[in-house]
Amino acid sequence: MICYFHDIKKANIMVIDDEEINLEIIDELLNDEGFSSINCFSDPKEAIKHYRQFPPDLVLLDLNMPVMNGFEVAEQFQIINHSPPPPILIITALADRTTKLKSLDSGAKDILSKPFDDQEVTRRVRNLIEMHLAHKKNLHYSKNLEHIVKTRTQELLETQNEMIESLGLAAEYRDNETATHTIRVGLYTQALAIQLGLNDKEANQLKLASPLHDIGKIGIPDNVLLKKGKLDTEEWVLMKKHAQFGYNILKNSKSLLLKNAGIIALTHHEKWDGNGYPAGLHGSEIHLYGRITAIADVFDALTMSRPYKKAWPIEDAIQLINDEAGKHFDPSLVESFNQIIDKLLTIRKDNSD
Ligand SMILES: [Fe+2]
Ligand SMILES: [Fe+2]
């Protein structure tokens, strides 16, 4: 990291020494070197107040002071905890080994003995400031980077979710379904997931993924998909392929959300008793997400009207779901369904066609 000469000379330097004459000497020395922002304090308490509000880029600190010694001042600075901590350069007449080691242990970056060599002081001052400014720049850079990554990730997530919603809508528009069908199925599956004890993140994933359950209908020809009246055996075989088609569309995605949507597309017509399609899976062989979506999808299909059929009375729809526990549906999911029926009806009311 490069620090420009200009930045170094403008750095904020704090000097703390109980003897005014020492302050004057250092102030003059640094001024002569071109440093333009020097704050001198003979009272350490004043210095601490200033330090708290205006973190300096370097502190020159005397050790032997009457009210509060240099170690106590350094300790206060550590408690204030600026990030990054301004370096401390101890300037002291107590230049014995123990003091030197104690100074370095108390957080000082460097130590100089009085009487000091002017040239040595200015060079050490410059080096310490240069290091600190580089540290500050680095910290700023990584914080900025962190922020950018966070924003971009959020944007990417939003784009992904938008794409998923659009895909779901596209599929439903081809079908006789409405846009709100996919929204309701998403919200029903989320509510069921929460009731089952899945965490919020997973429940939210399900809300986003389950609306894609019929995406595979894109692959079904119009004469079958939009046929008025009953499908013949051959047409029905073709229609059932939408589950596999949906899976094929989504299975290779790198996104876990889309992968899960693929699993839902594949399994949402499987039945608990093994009489579903495409694989005729039994019970818990069927992925939980598929089992949840199956209830949500059927409940919505029954309780909403379509151009070709009237909505069932709610009680009848609830009855059918319960009659199908252990046949079409996972019985424990039917139990959860019964427990949150009021919630599901509110979702239905708030998201009607
Ligand atoms: Fe379907
Ligand atoms: Fe559906």
> Domain boundary at 95, 128, 146, which?
146
Give the ligand at the shortest distance from the Cα of 301.
2
CA of 239 to the centre of ligand 1 (A): 9
Number of other CB atoms surrounding residue 241 within 10 Å? 17
Q: Is 163 part of any domain? A: no
Say if residue 139 is in the same domain as residue 208. Answer: no
| DSSP letter, residue 309 | B
Confidence at 1, pLDDT banded by 50, 70, 90: very low
CA of 320 to the centre of ligand 1 (A): 18
Phi and psi at residue 252, to the nearest 5°: -90, 5
Average pLDDT of the segment spanning 22-38: 95
- Residue carrying structure tokens 């017509």: 269
What's the token pair of residue 78? Answer: 């550590």
Say if residue 129 is in the same domain as residue 183. Answer: no
CA atoms within 13 A on the CB side of 246: 33
Say if residue 138 is in the same domain as residue 204. Answer: no
CATH number for the domain spanning 39: value is 3.40.50.2300
Active site (annotated) includes residue 309: no
Say if residue 263 is in the same domain as residue 218. Answer: yes
Give the ligand at the shortest distance from the Cα of 246.
1
Say if residue 241 is in the same domain as residue 189. Answer: yes
CA of 27 to the centre of ligand 1 (A): 81
Average pLDDT of the segment spanning 312-328: 97
Ion ligand 2 neighbours (CB, 5 A) are 214, 297
Say if residue 235 is in the same domain as residue 314. Answer: yes
Give the ligand at the shortest distance from the Cα of 211.
2
What's the token pair of residue 270? Answer: 């499987």
Average pLDDT of the segment spanning 240-254: 95
Say if residue 136 is in the same domain as residue 196. Answer: no
Say if residue 241 is in the same domain as residue 312. Answer: yes
Number of other CB atoms surrounding residue 195 within 10 Å? 19
Of 109, 136, 207, 217, the active-site residue reads 217
Q: Is 167 part of any domain? A: no
Range scoring the smallest mean pLDDT among 46-50, 129-133, 147-151, 309-313: 309-313
Phi and psi at residue 340, to the nearest 5°: -115, 25
What domain range is 299 assigned to?
Answer: 175-350
Average pLDDT of the segment spanning 270-297: 98
Say if residue 101 is in the same domain as residue 200. Answer: no
How many independent structural domains does the chain possess? 2
Residue 164, Ramachandran bin (φ over 0: left; ψ between -120 and 50: alpha; else beta): alpha
Beta strands in 25-109 (DSSP E): 37-41, 58-61, 88-92
CA of 159 to the centre of ligand 2 (A): 23
Residue 3 pLDDT more than 70?
Answer: no
Q: Which of 349, 345, 344 is nearest to 195 (CA)?
A: 344
CA 348 to chain centre: 31
| 13 touches 125 (CB < 8 A) | yes
Q: What is the rounded distance in angstroms from the CA atom of residue 152 to the CA atom of residue 171?
A: 29
CATH number for the domain spanning 189: value is 1.10.3210.10
CA of 43 to the centre of ligand 2 (A): 76
- Residue carrying structure tokens 């209830």: 295
CA of 96 to the centre of ligand 2 (A): 83
Give the ligand at the shortest distance from the Cα of 215.
1
Q: What is the rounded distance in angstroms from the CA atom of residue 246 to the CA atom of residue 256?
A: 15
Q: Is 155 part of any domain? A: no
CA of 273 to the centre of ligand 1 (A): 18
Identify the pLDDT of residue 121: 93
Say if residue 131 is in the same domain as residue 235. Answer: no
Q: Is 165 part of any domain? A: no
Q: Which of 111, 126, 59, 48 is nearest to 87 (CA)?
A: 59
Q: Is 157 part of any domain? A: no
> What does the pLDDT look like over 32-83, one tens digit per residue?
999 999 999 999 999 999 999 999 999 999 999 998 999 999 999 999 999 9
What's the token pair of residue 52? Answer: 């708290």
Identify the pLDDT of residue 309: 80
Residue 308 pLDDT more than 80?
Answer: no
> Domain boundary at 96, 125, 146, which?
146
Ion ligand 1 neighbours (CB, 5 A) are 214
Range scoring the smallest mean pLDDT among 26-30, 120-124, 171-175, 335-339: 171-175
| 66 touches 9 (CB < 8 A) | no
Say if residue 202 is in the same domain as residue 337. Answer: yes
> Domain boundary at 131, 146, 161, which?
146
> What does the pLDDT look like over 143-187, one tens digit per residue?
999 999 999 999 998 998 888 888 887 877 777 667 788 899 999
Residue 351 pLDDT more than 80?
Answer: yes
Helix, strand or coil, per DSSP, at residue 325: strand
Residue 2 pLDDT more than 70?
Answer: no
Helix, strand or coil, per DSSP, at residue 59: strand
CA of 182 to the centre of ligand 2 (A): 7
In sign, the C-alpha dihedral spanning 240, 285, 160, 203 is positive
Residue 5 pLDDT more than 60?
Answer: no
Between 24 and 6, where is the model more confident? 24
CA 152 to chain centre: 11
Q: Is 229 part of any domain? A: yes
Give the ligand at the shortest distance from the Cα of 239.
1
Q: What is the rounded distance in angstroms from the CA atom of residue 247 to the CA atom of residue 243?
A: 6
Between 274 and 168, where is the model more confident? 274
Q: Is 84 part of any domain? A: yes
Q: Is 301 exposed, middle or buried (0-12, 13-18, 19+ CB in 10 A)?
A: middle
Q: Is 90 part of any domain? A: yes
Say if residue 182 is in the same domain as residue 299. Answer: yes
